[in-house]
């Protein structure tokens, strides 16, 4: 096929540019297309791994920091001062997340989120746990989801405190018949995140211990499992890269 533009009376590329310059124009166009496609793929992949909220804790709940061995930040527990079980806070599923998990327990009227870590600097170095429980059977509070705490962040921003904890779910969803369903059945990975903006509410006595109570609702989020289309996109990007490399070698 001729390099001349169809239907034009003017000179074509081959009459204006040298052979090397024509190849450089084509290579530059291919490179720009490749970069644009790569940026689009990264943006879509980032959206696929974004955190999706699945529920919130009660406004009356929050985080209690207990002084342990002289370190006021060495132990934290979630607590609800509105009468919920010790070291727990009431939990409400998000409306669009109630389908995959909460709807499996039609007799559950209340949910509780609990977390406990002894060492906030390195939660994995000491026993730590988190769980979502509900009295869905004979009014006995039983665990539905749970796992370990991987990291904790607590920073003061003005008059409020930003709290965040990375959670790892171990196992799947424990159903009322005591069987376990994998999280992948609901399009969920095993990575969870709890975060919120809290305010200091003074001292709180729990049992024989007194701790600093930071109150406010917290959001629990999950990372979804990426759709297969993102893996297909990665393969196409790889093939595009090979084509670009081949074109560059010919040039």
| Helix intervals (H) in 49-191 | none
The mean pLDDT value for 99-109 works out to 74
**Tokens representing 58?**
């009660």
Alpha-carbon span 25 to 17, nearest angstrom: 10
- 19 phi, psi to nearest 5 deg: -60, -40
pLDDT at 146 over 80: yes
When pLDDT is cut at 50, 70 and 90, the band that residue 101 belongs to is: confident
pLDDT at 84 over 80: no
Alpha-carbon span 218 to 89, nearest angstrom: 10
Express each pLDDT in 196-235 by its tens digit: 999 999 888 776 778 889 999 999 998 887 754 444 444 4
User: Which residue, chain included where needed, has tokens 């539905």?
Assistant: 144
- Return the pLDDT at 139: 65
**Tokens representing 156?**
């003061």
When pLDDT is cut at 50, 70 and 90, the band that residue 142 belongs to is: confident
Task: Answer yes or no: are the C-beta atoms of 223 and 116 closer than 8 Å.
Answer: no
Cβ-count burial 106-127 (b if 16+ within 10 Å, e if not): eebeebbbbbbbbbbeebeeee
Chain-centre distance of CA 195, in angstroms? 11
The mean pLDDT value for 176-190 works out to 84
pLDDT at 67 over 60: yes
- Return the pLDDT at 181: 87
- Return the pLDDT at 224: 81
The mean pLDDT value for 108-128 works out to 86
When pLDDT is cut at 50, 70 and 90, the band that residue 124 belongs to is: confident
The mean pLDDT value for 14-43 works out to 52
When pLDDT is cut at 50, 70 and 90, the band that residue 37 belongs to is: very low
The CA-to-CA distance between both ends of the chain, in Å, stands at: 19
The mean pLDDT value for 57-81 works out to 78
When pLDDT is cut at 50, 70 and 90, the band that residue 148 belongs to is: very high
Alpha-carbon span 89 to 91, nearest angstrom: 6
Q: How far is CA 161 from CA 123, 153, 167, in A?
A: 20, 10, 19
Which region holds residue 43: left if phi is over 0, alpha if psi is between -120 and 50, else beta?
alpha
When pLDDT is cut at 50, 70 and 90, the band that residue 10 belongs to is: low
Please state the pTM of the whole predicted model: 0.70
């Amino acid at each position: 096929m001729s390099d001349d533009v169809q239907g034009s009376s003017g000179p074509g590329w081959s009459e204006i540019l040298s052979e090397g310059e024509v190849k450089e124009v084509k290579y530059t166009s291919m490179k720009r297309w490749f970069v644009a496609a790569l940026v689009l793929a990264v943006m879509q992949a980032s959206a696929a791994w974004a955190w999706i909220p699945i529920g919130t804790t009660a406004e009356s709940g929050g985080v209690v920091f207990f002084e342990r061995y002289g370190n006021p930040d060495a132990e934290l527990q979630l607590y609800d001062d509105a009468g919920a079980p010790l070291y727990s806070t009431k939990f409400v599923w998000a409306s669009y997340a109630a389908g995959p998990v909460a709807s499996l327990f039609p007799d559950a009227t209340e949910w509780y989120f609990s977390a406990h870590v002894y060492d906030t600097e390195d939660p994995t170095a000491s026993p730590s746990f988190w769980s979502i429980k509900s009295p869905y059977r004979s009014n006995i509070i039983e665990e539905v989801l749970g796992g370990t705490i991987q990291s904790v962040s607590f920073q003061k921003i003005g008059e409020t405190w930003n709290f965040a904890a990375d959670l790892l779910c171990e196992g799947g969803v424990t159903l009322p018949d005591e069987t376990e369903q994998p999280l992948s059945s609901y399009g969920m990975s095993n990575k969870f995140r709890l975060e919120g903006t809290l305010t200091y509410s003074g001292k709180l006595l729990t049992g024989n211990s007194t701790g600093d109570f930071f109150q406010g609702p917290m959001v629990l989020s999950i990372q979804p499992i990426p759709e297969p289309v993102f893996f297909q996109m990665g393969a196409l990007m790889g093939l595009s890269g090979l084509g670009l490399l081949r074109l560059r070698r010919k040039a």
